[in-house]
Amino acid sequence: MSETVINFTNFYFKYLNSQLVLKNVNLAIPQGAFTVMAGPSGAGKTTLCKAMLGIVPFYYGGSYSGDIEILGENVKGKRVSDLAMRVGLMLDDYESQLVSLTAGEEVAFSLLNHGFKPQEVAERTKKALTDVGLPGRENYQLDELSGGQRQRLLLASVLAVHPEVLVLDEPVSAMDPDGAKSLYALLYKIYKEYNMTVVVVEHDINNLLPYATHMVIVDNGQIAAKGPVMDAAKVTYDNPVLRENLPRLWQIKFNLEQRFGIKLGDWRSEEEAQEELQEKFQGRISK
Amino acid sequence: MRITAFTQLILVLAVTAWVFLLPIPAVATLLALELVLLLYIKHDRMTMAAIGALTVFTGMMIVLQLLFGSSLYISLTGGLRMFVMTTAFLDLLAATKIQDIAQALVEKFHMPCEYAFMLTTALRFVPDFLADSANTLDAQSCRGYSNRGNVLKRLYAYLAVVKPLVMRAIAKSDTLALSMELKGFGANTYKNMQPQTLKSLDYIVLLLIIVLSSFPFWQKFIMK
């Protein structure tokens, strides 16, 4: 996990007629990482996601300085659609990103645009739909699919081009808790199966506790914390303003560590926490 | 065996010409054939509603023509022609995927891909737009929107629904445009699809179209 797939160097950006949205961003996303990006609303997370494909600054315009490298190549002068073949992006408004009338056409759309042969398009479409749990739905009209299925369809359309990196901007913002858990479980399965690099922007990191390997906290356009998930979480906890961005479980963990001067494990679930706490505090906590 | 979208489009264009070229009994027969075909391909609620709405619209058109002084014969034949032309489009939409129609328009009629894609996009977003409209209406009703009063008052009040709806549509179109950019939309979109090659049935239908379309010619010179 040493090679870097996305690299920002001294990157500043502002949209046309706006204040600076990203300030002095220095960030490296390692290959094979499952990175969670969090931060307050309006911190610049979505803009940072878009910058990972060169959408910002090259599609929207605006002023920038610094460099962005994707898979070793500077994004300057590259077409967004070519970069999207290597870095797949899912925005939060998934409904508006579906452009076709049937599930099969939707998945095939990118492939056809990039000149894949019809035979390969059909094979990849079938495989991508199977990967996201929608096998045999090629001829389904979009209005025959539920919200969660449409979300998975969009994921299939991104996966069909076999990107090396997957960037998802609040993918479960319109889903119920069960739907969110199931989408992240699916995403993790795909991440493991295809050995991808994943970046997820998420307000509620609780859903991603079991999966995250790295974490980035964005605040006011700047990177406030970054790195392997527990290191970044510790830095975030030490900043009282940003502490709220951490999952409740880790806030408890750091509180306990601070109060009792002990070192606790990297809890990924309530069960893990319960087990360790019972072991460590057996008979020591007064009722 | 099915005819391609290209032949179907030519057939629809031919039907719009035939309603003026062929004698009225033949046009009426055409209508019967179209309706049978439409109900054979699709006989769901939407299709029945489309036929019903078309019938009402045709009736209104006939009444209006009568009110403006046309004779009964002219009004009825005018209504019949309009009905036949529109039903041909309904047949086309029922029988063919809109994607195939768009592909045929680009491949065979050399329509710019952006215009052809508008066809599919429009159909794709109509249900979303209707859902957004209902949601906005509900939301604004909770904030005090009311459609009571005279027409002017109601129109003015309706701005409270239209404004957020338009803003939402613009935001969605921005995301759609970005999504299309990411997916590499362009001239290749239709070029790389499985080509629609004409088969023997297409040639038979096209020949039939030529024969029927030249009806006035062979009626005048050959049947004499």
Pair A89, A83: CB distance under 8 Å: no
B149 or A123, greater pLDDT:
A123
pLDDT over threshold 80, residue A284: no
Average the pLDDT over A67-89 and give the result: 91
Question: Per residue in B14-26, pLDDT tens?
Answer: 999 999 988 899 9
- CA B120 to each of CA A140, B4, B115: distance values in angstroms, whole numbers, following the listed order: 15, 18, 10
Cross-chain Cβ contact B185/A113 below 8 Å: yes
Name every chain B residue with its beta carbon within 8 A of the beta carbon of A112.
188-189, 192-193
pLDDT over threshold 60, residue A232: yes
pLDDT over threshold 80, residue A218: yes
Q: pLDDT at position B58, please?
A: 95
Q: Work out the percent of chain B whose per-residue pLDDT is above 90.
A: 50
Beta strands in chain A (DSSP E): 4-14, 20-30, 34-38, 63-70, 73-74, 87-90, 165-169, 197-201, 214-219, 222-228
Q: Which residue of B has its CA nearest to A141?
A: B124
Q: pLDDT at position A129, please?
A: 96
pLDDT over threshold 80, residue A13: yes
Cross-chain Cβ contact B184/A100 below 8 Å: no
Name every chain B residue with its beta carbon within 8 A of the beta carbon of A98.
124, 179
Cross-chain Cβ contact B183/A84 below 8 Å: yes
pLDDT over threshold 80, residue A285: no
Average the pLDDT over A111-115 and give the result: 89
Question: Per residue in B42-97, pLDDT tens?
Answer: 888 889 999 999 999 999 999 999 999 999 999 999 999 999 999 999 999 899 88
Of A84, A95, A109, the CB nearest to B128: A95
Question: Per residue in B185-207, pLDDT tens?
Answer: 877 777 778 888 899 999 999 99
Of A210, A187, A206, the residue nearest A198 (C-alpha): A187
Classify A6 as helix, strand or coil. strand
Whole-angstrom distance, CA of residue A23 vs CA of residue A38: 16
- φ/ψ region of B42 (left if φ > 0, alpha if ψ in -120 to 50, else beta) reads beta
Whole-angstrom distance, CA of residue B190 vs CA of residue B99: 9
Cross-chain Cβ contact A113/B192 below 8 Å: yes
Q: In the structure encoding, which two tokens stand for residue B217, read together?
A: 């010619």
pLDDT over threshold 80, residue B183: yes
Cross-chain Cβ contact B120/A99 below 8 Å: yes
B128 or A65, greater pLDDT:
A65
Average pLDDT, chain B: 89
Q: In the structure encoding, which two tokens stand for residue A93, read together?
A: 């408004």
Cross-chain Cβ contact B192/A116 below 8 Å: yes
Q: Work out the percent of chain B whose per-residue pLDDT is above 70.
A: 99
Q: pLDDT at position B122, please?
A: 83
Whole-angstrom distance, CA of residue A52 vs CA of residue A67: 11
Of A84, A85, A113, the CB nearest to B186: A113
Of A89, A100, A114, the CB nearest to B184: A114
| CB–CB contacts below 8 A, A to B | 90
Pair A153, A104: CB distance under 8 Å: no
Q: In the structure encoding, which two tokens stand for residue B89, read together?
A: 């489009």
A81 Cα to chain B: minimum distance (Å)? 4
Average the pLDDT over B124-139 and give the result: 88
Question: Per residue in A20-29, pLDDT tens?
Answer: 999 999 999 9
Of A54, A49, A153, the residue nearest A103 (C-alpha): A153
Of B80, B101, B100, B77, the residue nearest B13 (C-alpha): B101
A60 Cα to chain B: minimum distance (Å)? 9
Picking from B100, B179, B181, B191 by the largest number of A CB atoms within 10 A of its own CB, the best residue to mutate is B179
Q: pLDDT at position A287, please?
A: 45
A287 Cα to chain B: minimum distance (Å)? 49
Cross-chain Cβ contact B124/A113 below 8 Å: no
Complex confidence, ipTM = 0.85
Of B121, B184, B192, the CB nearest to A81: B184
pLDDT over threshold 80, residue A6: yes
Pair A167, A87: CB distance under 8 Å: yes
Pair B190, A61: CB distance under 8 Å: no
Name every chain B residue with its beta carbon within 8 A of the beta carbon of A85.
184
Average the pLDDT over B6-18 and give the result: 94
- φ/ψ region of B24 (left if φ > 0, alpha if ψ in -120 to 50, else beta) reads alpha
Task: Enter the pTM of the model.
Answer: 0.81
Q: Which residue of A has its CA nearest to B124?
A: A101
Average the pLDDT over A116-126 and give the result: 92
Average the pLDDT over B141-170 and give the result: 90
Pairing of the two strands A20-30 and A4-14 = antiparallel
Chain position carrying tokens 């794709």:
B124
A89-93, A264-268, B74-78, B117-121: lowest mean pLDDT where?
B117-121
Residues of chain A whose beta carbon is less than 8 angstroms from a beta carbon of chain B are 53, 55, 59, 80-82, 84-85, 89, 91, 93, 95-102, 105, 109-110, 112-118, 121, 142-143, 157
